[in-house]
Amino acid sequence: MVRTRFKLVAVAATLAMACSLAKAGTVLPSLVQLEDLNSKVLVDLRSQAGVESWQVDGASNLFQQWFWVRTGDQREQSIDTLGLLDAKVSDVNFNEGNDTLVAVFGSNDGLKITLSLNLTGAKIGSKSSDLAETIKIENAGSTALPISFFQYVDFDLNGGLYDDIGQFPNSNTVTQKSATNGLIVSETVVTPAPTHREVALRSQLLDKLNDERATTLADNTGPVTGDVAWAFQWDRVLNPGQSLIISKDKNLKADPVPLPDSVWMGALLLGGIGITSIRRRIAA
């Protein structure tokens, strides 16, 4: 209990410092909170936890979203390992609470990644929220850089650990539905279209990004049921001075077409998935 209490105090102190520094226009600490109306997002800029919480009407829906990058044929690495160069929050819609984050990461080979997140909440009790994201990947070096950029996402809608169903209805869009609590989240890549994509169980997909080999996503479009995760991959060669801008939008809302009983009962009865999910959450 003492450790838990200390951690909560430390998080609260870090967030308070972030807010005070934001008002002064100073670079933020690593832990950043965005808020707008019924929604809150927590981002850890210095670890793979990344976007580690998205609360809507008090309910937690996101366990982890973050980004990995590879240059050449070496293994990919999460962008926090590049080095955090700058980070600032702001209130762009002037309704109290910082709703926008801009963070810049960079490496010695000239790779520079600017991540912009904009949170748009909704009326209290609506169960609706939106998170718009823009990623700018630049080659500020003097030689061409072959780039593979990955986005990894692990939603647990309304805190459910193993009862979601995820799939790609088309090459630019992924959806994840809760089998039990009537929520749905979708992400649409506005531009450019990803080179590869994959939906899988959380452990399978995250292990791919963190092993010692260069990853190419398997283009499995689902549906997959259980502790669902999904990822996009963009492959480009950036010449000196060139950049790639990725624009995406996530929308969370109450599901207008709830799943039939037979489907969600099947999700709940999948062997071992629930136990595995619970174990990894406790271990985390």
Domain ranges of the chain: 32-283
Token pair 């629930």: residue: 274
First vs last C-alpha separation in the chain: 16
Residue-level pLDDT at 260? 56
Tens of pLDDT, residues 161-204 = 888 999 999 999 999 999 888 899 999 999 999 999 999 999 99
Q: Does domain 32-283 have CATH number 2.70.98.40?
A: yes
Is pLDDT at 155 greater than 50 in this prediction? yes
Contact present, 219 and 195 (Cβ < 8 Å): no
For residue 241, the one-letter residue type is G
Q: How far is CA 256 from CA 68, 127, 133, 252, in A?
A: 33, 12, 25, 12
Tens-digit pLDDT profile for residues 17-74? 344 344 444 555 689 999 999 999 999 999 999 999 999 999 999 999 999 999 988 8
pLDDT one-digit tens code per residue, 89-141: 999 988 889 999 999 999 888 999 999 999 999 999 999 999 999 999 999 99
Separation CA 31–CA 49 (nearest Å): 10
Q: Which of 40, 232, 242, 30 is nearest to 121 (CA)?
A: 40
Question: Cα separation of 269 and 283, whole Å?
Answer: 23
